[in-house]
Chains A and B, each alone.
Chain A
Amino acid sequence: MDRPMDLHYTDAQEAFRAEARAWLADHAPAPRTLPSLDTAEGFEAHRAWEAEMAADRWSVVSWPDEYGGRGVGILEWLVFEEEYWRAQAPLRVSQNGVFLLAPTMFEFGTDAQKARFLPPMASAREIWCQGWSEPDAGSDLAGIRSRARRSDAEGGWVLSGQKTWASRGAFAEWCFGLFRTDPEAERHRGLTYFLVDMATSGVTVRPIPQIDGETGFAELFFEDVFVPDDLVLGEIGKGWNVAMATAGSERGLSLRSPARYSRAADRLVDLYAERLADDPVRTARSGDAVAQAWMDAEAYRLNTLWTATRVLDGGSVGPEASANKIHWSQTDLAIHRTALDLLGPEAELHGDGVDAPWLDGYLFALAGPIYAGTNEIQRNVVAERMLGLPRG
């Protein structure tokens, strides 16, 4: 296939954009009007918004029609995301399911699993959290100790152990988690990927207030929790491979679309322009950082289109996903840090009755270099798998 380089979207893609824009204009709540999704009230408000999207098949545009999507490709998904962020529509409460578990389920799930789980995921009737990290297994994920014991009599597995930092864990209905099914095997080989109903007897949830005071994540305790065989995703003992597919989505193309950063960078330039009128001397000192942040967002957009084209041409995303994660997490921080500098003494204003989008965004961005594998782990991956340096 020798198509010349072309960075224009097609007419059909532009028509899709117009349709998405019109729908969002009619339906999306005004920016920042829903309560935080990390509160019980906000969680339900965000769920209702996603149900509204799902009703008109806008919640998972890239999925096949039968599961609630529109069957469009990755480029159309990027276009939809551009419109979503342009409309400043709410954060996606279903993101762990839609952006992380779903791509993994399309790759490894049985037809029955897809039919059972994808439609309620699309409509946000069931919201998922991630049960991976443990108190003693963070960056060293393969060191997890939570166990799954075989029960032939019951036709399934019995889970025990503790998971932590489960985003949306306080309110989610389902959890996708890694458990050790073979304690004798080499540590990467003895793991299995389970889908767990949080209402199962033996599951206890302890919400953890985050740095912003809200309960964005939770500790999960499993005491003899029974999971039937049909809730194993992929093969027994192959959980690490399945998990790395999820991690690839988390770091690579699907979790953080470029539009998120392009919009934030544009708003940063707006803020700069406003502040320049008020206090030109002080504001101008941030000019270089504002331009750098805008460039970082633009570089992310172009890199994503480059990668998406490679994928559409039959290529794959390997360790580049780690480079990607380092870039988007640093970009998010740079945008918000620069905004706080522009706000100066007003940057710290927060709490009841104060709308502080930049400070909220900064607190959110601070987690970026930590979750989905710390950036230090990602640098190891880049060094070992892109540059061929020896493992330590």
Chain B
Amino acid sequence: MHFAFTDQQLEFKAAVRQVLAKECTTDEVRAAYDAPTARSPRWQTLADLGVTGLTVPEAYGGFGLGLVDLVPLVEEAGRVALPEPLATTTGIAAPLLADLATRSGSDDPRVAGWLSAIASGALTAAVAEGARPGRPVAGADGADVLLLVVDDPDGRQLHGLDAADCPVDPVSSLDPTRRLGTPGWQPSAATLLTGGPDAGALLARTADRAGVVIGAELLGLADAMVTLTASYAKDRQQFGKPIGSFQAVKHLLAGAQVLLEFARPVVYGAAWALDQGAPDASRAASVAKAYASEAALEAARVSLQVHGAIGYTWECDLHLYLKRSWALAESWGTAADHRARLLDSLLAER
């Protein structure tokens, strides 16, 4: 038992934090609001550092590492509301493609090409949460590759398309960096990656990973909001003193901080369970997504309340974090969805 990150993991986290503080200021996030792009010079910086290819197998130019290594970096992405889809590309798509590539007898050149391109920084991915024809997929507008799901009488099917083969109808989001889009496509033998029970198992694992990495992004967002708001509460004066000296304000922020403190080990533990293939990994992933979602939503609520009217403006940076948090809390299963999933699993063993 040693429930902690290694020094190396913490050093990498600190390095990424430093880079992002410089290259992903709130001005940069605002620029991405005006002109959302899937890949930016900042994405290439992350690729050069080895971040985008962290979970890509070494055979394809990556580091072949797991979620325990990735999660601290995704937290940093959340802390700066990184516009680029790191969680989806490196946390969800790359492990899914790696699963496909490492199965015996698999030599799909498309999969190999996509993995190499993720590692080199030449590709971002969008991954559909499920088979929802006609509904928007996060990141689809501008993604280089789309991993999409259809329901088939024999079970689910996973399809992969290069952007060139998949027209996408952009759909606007409250957070423009979400780059929602509805793929206009027809599943075919040429787009099929896998189907049947294999696809079912692969997609279940993908949903678990998504809960954990999106949870990690929510941790970073929650931390950013609580920190920003605590700082505001120290400066803002009313009744002749900082509003942060009033218990009503302290208790709001303390409540959010406690939720965040307890959400962190839950997300880290789930990352470890998934990397290990632990029997309760799926359950751990549900706890992680539910806890991180609740922590971020509470941090968002409290932060807006403590900022007061200024927090309700476009000018104040707070809304950049609020909007991402609201969107991510609803994606890959809400807290309530995951509680229901957990309860089913607990009842099934009785």
Instruction: Report which A residues bind B (CB closer than 8 A).
Output: 1-10, 13, 75, 269-270, 272-273, 276, 287-288, 290-292, 294-295, 298-300, 302-303, 305-306, 308-310, 312-313, 320, 323, 326-327, 376, 378-380, 382-384, 386-392
Contacts and interface: CB of A to CB of B under 8 A. Distances in A.
A305 B254 CA distance: 22
Contacts of A308: 3
8 contacts: A2-B8, A4-B68, A5-B272, A7-B273, A320-B261, A379-B247, A387-B253, A389-B233
Contacts of B4: 3, 5, 306, 309-310, 313
B274 to A, nearest CB: 12
A303 B262 contact: yes
Contacts of B254: 326, 378-380, 382-383, 386-387
A305 B3 contact: yes
A320 B258 CA distance: 9
A363 B273 CA distance: 36
| Best-surrounded residue of A290, A302, A327, A386 (most CB of chain B within 10 A) | A302
B347 A327 contact: no
A303 B242 CA distance: 32
Given A269-B347, A273-B350, A294-B342, A392 B246 contact: yes
B21 interface: no
Nearest to A306: B265
Given A292-B339, A299-B266, A380-B247, A2 B291 contact: no
B336 to A, nearest CB: 6
B245 interface: yes
Contacts of A10: 1
B262 A327 contact: yes
B350 A5 contact: no
Given A306-B268, A388-B230, 12 more contacts: A10-B1, A288-B336, A298-B266, A299-B263, A299-B266, A306-B3, A306-B4, A379-B247, A383-B254, A386-B254, A389-B230, A389-B245
B22 interface: no
| Best-surrounded residue of A290, A313, A384, A392 (most CB of chain B within 10 A) | A392
A13 B247 CA distance: 44
Contacts of A3: 2, 4, 6
A303 B230 contact: no
Contacts of B249: 389
Interface string B246-290: 110111011101100111111011001100000000000001001
Interface string B306-350: 000000000000000000000000000000100110110011001
Given A7-B269, A291-B339, A376 B251 contact: yes
B343 A287 contact: yes
A305 B342 contact: no
A389 B6 CA distance: 31
Interface in B6-41: 6-8
The 9 closest A-B pairs by CB, nearest first: A383-B250, A291-B339, A379-B254, A389-B244, A382-B254, A306-B265, A302-B265, A387-B230, A291-B343
Contacts of A270: 350
Contact of A288 (B258, B266, B339): B339
B226 interface: yes
A392 B244 CA distance: 8
A77 to B, nearest CB: 12
A269 B258 contact: no
A386 B269 CA distance: 23
B1 A299 contact: no
A323 B257 contact: yes
A8 B290 CA distance: 24
B5 interface: yes
B336 A5 contact: no
B262 A4 contact: no
Interface in B43-92: 68
Given A269-B350, A303-B261, A320-B261, A389 B250 contact: yes
A10 B245 CA distance: 46
A378 B3 CA distance: 26
B229 to A, nearest CB: 9
Contacts of A392: 245-247, 250
Given A291-B339, A302-B3, A380-B247, A386 B257 contact: yes
